[in-house]
Amino acid sequence: MEITRIISIAISMVFINNFILSKFLGLCPFLGVSRRTQAALSMGIAVIFVMVFSSLLTSLVYVFVLVPLGIVYLRTIFFILIIAAFVQLIEMVIRKKSPALYKALGIYLPLITTNCAVLGVTILNINEFFVPGIPVYAGILYSIIQAFFGGIGFCVALLLMSGIRERLEFTDTPISMKGIPVAFIVASIMSLAFMGFSGFKF
Amino acid sequence: MKSLIKEFSKGITVLNPTFGLILGLCPTLAISTSLFNAIGMGVAATFVLVFSNLIISALRNFIPARIRLPSYIVIIATFVTICELGLKAYLPGLSKSLGIFIPLIVVNCIIMARAEAFASSNRILPSIFDGLGMGIGFTLGISIIAFIRELLGSGSIAGIGLLKSNEFILVMILSPGALLTMGLLIALSRLLGLTKR
Amino acid sequence: MTDSLLVNTSPHLHKKESVKRIMWLVTLSLVPCGLAGIFIFGLGALWIIVLAILAAVITEFVLQAATRRRITVFDGSAVLTGLLLAYNLPADVPFWLPVVGAIVSIAIGKQVFGGLGQNIFNPALVGRVFLMASWPKYMTTFVRPLSYDAVTSATPLAALTEGKALEGISYLDLFLGNRPGCIGEVCILALLIGAAFLLLSKYISWHIPLSYIFTVGLLSYVFGAKTLFAGDWFSHILSGGLILGAFFMATDYVTSPLTYKGQFVFGIGCGIITVVIRLWGGYPEGVSYAILIMNAATPIIDRYTRPRIYGS
């Protein structure tokens, strides 16, 4: 449990191994929900939230159910069901408790179930932190930190992209490049720029 | 028979998942660093598509509408797990290089989209052909991108080096190269009128 | 008499400014540091500059002709992009490198978005980071100054990154450009002459350069050495591409924020990213990455620093 490791995970998840720009997880919402800044911000916050709690739940289930019962090979099925159930629960709770929040985030929640960044981060957690040599409680903690900063990175990329796409609507982009293709080019240049952080050592 | 051919061919042409529908992008970009990996990914996704379409179509009258999405997820996840374990046992090298993207086939939008849009309301045989066509279309799309990236980025085709030199465009096999290739290819397919915008 | 009775709609005052004039004046202000670069690194540098400019202009012409747009290759913007790209390259790169870089700059950095005024990122920097990611070996091999041969040498920044003191290079050397580095970035004196011209004639404002350079100075003073508050901040300001980037690339009208408040945010952001990459990143220099990342953030900065509409 070292502070430098946490800072390294943070910088790495936000810039170097950004879920969207470097690992290519969650590209569908990245292209789908990045047309408006407000929507992008809502989606980003919802993703951070779901990622953190899914990581907590899946790592607990992994440690206390899958490993003791010897059914680690069923982890994909378990994880996607946990995520789907959790998202469904959240949707029902905020619909009852806070209609305003539901209005802001509601329509993005079902999309998050099939966001591969969420399932991706839970599987990466298991692969990276639940290995011999790392105590179980540290593994759970690292998972949550990785999920949180992964979500921040997702949110940052989504927000920057939405600002750029709002501006691109008013430009005289060649017709065949308009929309999705030019969004890919922008993402490519952002990915090149984020490469500046590679080799980060604190 | 004619309609079966139609179901089969639409996934390769007009409704091509990669360039037409622009679905299933995550593995398309991440795995297309070499042609060999791309074909492996395509075959794995096709396997899951065909079998999940088959089962979902067979059970379409038994699954209550309200819980259909969770049921689809379980069916898809089952075939993904079979695929994951099979690859690990028989092709450990490929399994390692595809890594996390094998379990992530579960949330590949193409498979869910075909289950919801086609298999849930069609008979078994057309569903199988639909899955096969979509799978082959996906394999084709990812292979084209992988071919370009591998050729420009490391000067080889499916791992076979063409030139003894290291003056290749390294960035093409890195992540910016994937996004760049994808953007330019979609623009090109629009320009040539292959897919609608 | 007839003139004084002329009736027309406002505006009545005209200024003889155009995009073309500004582009050529910025290009002119970049001539001194180019001449210094050629003097320091030899005639090879001149060839790189010429090749980059030619490739940029030809690419612009071909793409505009192919998309049946108005041909605007003589508005100076393509020349400026080629020039800035060349200034960001070491002096003995292979001849095809500036050509590839210029094609990428114009095609991917500019024409894809629809041409001048529509681009999100600084085109020259797009070309540079593309080359950096593809051929890092060529992009980080520098010629020793005033020796006119391809003896490679580490840049002052490489030493500063490791927290060491500079050996054998005085502040005067850094100021005049007697150090290894990219063609256009080494001679601070010549860069400042060009920058002073642009500032005094009000073609650029001081907000971005000042906040950028100040942030780099402050952060490198605080974190630049093994102990806090002991960094060699003056060397950090004089080395690398900071002066070139801060005055000539971060101030690009199209890709930087509109309001002064936004420009301060932009400059400070560039400064933070530059120092983080210089001190802890894998690359020795972070100026191009910092400016590109802040270019990406510009629409968002503009959105949140928009002046309040009167009455709202």
Nearest to B174 among C108, C133, C135 (CB): C133
Distance of CA B148 to the CA centre of its chain: 17
**Sorting pLDDT into bands at 50, 70 and 90, what band is C36?**
very high
As given in the structure block, the two tokens for residue C239 are 């080395």
As given in the structure block, the two tokens for residue C76 are 């100076």
As given in the structure block, the two tokens for residue A95 are 């619909």
A150 or A95, greater pLDDT: A150
What are the angstrom distances between the C-alpha of A97 and each of A90, A101, C169?
Answer: 10, 9, 66
Which of C67, C120, C276 to mutate: most A Cβ within 10 Å?
A: C120
Residue B192 pLDDT > 50: yes
Residue B100 pLDDT > 70: yes
* Mean per-residue pLDDT, C40-53: 94
Nearest alpha-carbon partner for B107 in C311, A112, A181, A150: A112
A193 to C292: CB separation less than 8 angstroms, yes or no: yes
B170 to C135: CB separation less than 8 angstroms, yes or no: yes
* Mean per-residue pLDDT, B119-126: 90
> In this structure, is the dihedral angle defined by the CA atoms of residues C74, C75, C76 and C78, taken in order, positive or negative?
negative
Tens of pLDDT, residues B9-39: 887 877 788 887 778 888 889 888 889 999 9
A196 to C303: CB separation less than 8 angstroms, yes or no: no
The answer to which of A132-136, B111-115, C14-18, C265-269 has the lowest mean pLDDT is C14-18
Tell whether C133 lies on the interface with B, counting CB pairs under 8 A: yes
* Mean per-residue pLDDT, A62-82: 91
* Mean per-residue pLDDT, C137-156: 76
Nearest to A185 among B73, B174, B183 (CB): B183
pLDDT, residue B117, reads 87
Question: Dihedral of the CA atoms A8, C265, C243, C245 (nearest 10)?
Answer: 80
As given in the structure block, the two tokens for residue B84 are 């994951």
Nearest alpha-carbon partner for B46 in B146, B149, B128: B128
> Chain C residues with CB inside 8 Å of A166's CB?
299, 303
pLDDT, residue A1, reads 55
C3 or A181, greater pLDDT: A181
**Sorting pLDDT into bands at 50, 70 and 90, what band is C55?**
very high
Residue B142 pLDDT > 80: yes
Q: Which residue has the tokens 């006119």?
A: C148
Residue C174 pLDDT > 50: yes
Residue A152 pLDDT > 80: yes
> Chain C residues with CB inside 8 Å of B172's CB?
134
pLDDT, residue C15, reads 72
As given in the structure block, the two tokens for residue C141 are 């091999």
pLDDT, residue C2, reads 52
Tens of pLDDT, residues A2-23: 788 888 888 888 989 999 999 8
- Partners of B157 in beta bridges: B160
> Chain B residues with CB inside 8 Å of A184's CB?
179-180, 182-183, 186
Nearest to A181 among B23, B74, B187 (CB): B187
**Sorting pLDDT into bands at 50, 70 and 90, what band is C167?**
low
**How many angstroms separate the CA of residue A71 from the nearest CA in chain B?**
12
Sequence-distant (≥ 6) Cβ neighbours of residue B151 within 8 angstroms: B157, B162
Give the Cα separation of C74 and C123 in Å (integer). Answer: 17
* Mean per-residue pLDDT, A116-123: 90
The answer to which of A57-61, B108-112, C10-14, C216-220 has the lowest mean pLDDT is C10-14
B161 or C211, greater pLDDT: C211
Q: Please name the amino acid found at residue B183.
A: G
**How many angstroms separate the CA of residue A194 from the nearest CA in chain B?**
10
> Chain B residues with CB inside 8 Å of C108's CB?
180
Residue A55 pLDDT > 80: yes
The number of domains in chain A is 1
> Chain C residues with CB inside 8 Å of B180's CB?
108
Phi, psi of B55 (to 5 degrees): -70, -45
Counting residues of chain B whose pLDDT is more than 90, the rounded percentage is 43
C297 to A173: CB separation less than 8 angstroms, yes or no: no
What are the angstrom distances between the C-alpha of C146 and each of A36, C123, C165, C238?
Answer: 53, 30, 23, 19
Give the neighbours of chain A: at least 3 Cβ pairs within 8 Å: B, C
Give the Cα separation of C199 and C202 in Å (integer). Answer: 5
Nearest alpha-carbon partner for B189 in A184, A161, C162: A184
B186 to A21: CB separation less than 8 angstroms, yes or no: no
Q: Which domain holds residue A137?
A: 3-193
Q: Is residue C2 exposed (0-12), middle (13-18) or buried (19+ Cβ within 10 Å)? A: exposed
As given in the structure block, the two tokens for residue C37 are 């670069």
CA angle C178–C179–C184, rounded 5-degree value: 90
pLDDT, residue C163, reads 59
pLDDT, residue C1, reads 47
Q: Please name the amino acid found at residue A28.
A: C
Residue C312 pLDDT > 80: no
pLDDT, residue C306, reads 85
B179 to A187: CB separation less than 8 angstroms, yes or no: yes
* Mean per-residue pLDDT, C21-43: 93
Tens of pLDDT, residues C267-286: 999 999 999 999 988 888 89
Mean pLDDT (chain C, rounded): 89
Residue C160 pLDDT > 80: no
B165 or B115, greater pLDDT: B115
How many Cβ atoms are within 10 Å of C82's Cβ, its own excluded?
Answer: 32
Nearest alpha-carbon partner for A183 in A12, A17, A20: A20
Distance of CA C43 to the CA centre of its chain: 22
pLDDT, residue B166, reads 66
Q: Please name the amino acid found at residue B112.
A: M
**Sorting pLDDT into bands at 50, 70 and 90, what band is C152?**
low
C118 to A202: CB separation less than 8 angstroms, yes or no: no
> Chain B residues with CB inside 8 Å of C136's CB?
170
**Sorting pLDDT into bands at 50, 70 and 90, what band is B162?**
confident
> Chain C residues with CB inside 8 Å of B149's CB?
none
pLDDT, residue C247, reads 96
- Partners of A139 in beta bridges: none
Phi, psi of C88 (to 5 degrees): -95, 15
Counting residues of chain B whose pLDDT is more than 70, the rounded percentage is 95
* Mean per-residue pLDDT, C236-241: 90
Residue C34 pLDDT > 70: yes
Tell whether C66 lies on the interface with B, counting CB pairs under 8 A: no
Tens of pLDDT, residues C242-262: 999 999 999 998 999 999 999
Task: Find, in chain A, the residue whose alpha carbon is nearest to that of B192.
Answer: A176
Write the DSSP string, C67-94. TTPPP-GGGSHHHHHHHHHHHTS-TT--
Mean pLDDT (chain B, rounded): 87
Nearest alpha-carbon partner for B106 in B26, B175, B8, B19: B26
Give the Cα separation of A175 and B163 in Å (integer). Answer: 37
Nearest to C281 among A172, A189, A197 (CB): A197
Residue B1 pLDDT > 80: no
Mean pLDDT (chain A, rounded): 88
Phi, psi of C85 (to 5 degrees): -60, -50
Counting residues of chain A whose pLDDT is more than 90, the rounded percentage is 40
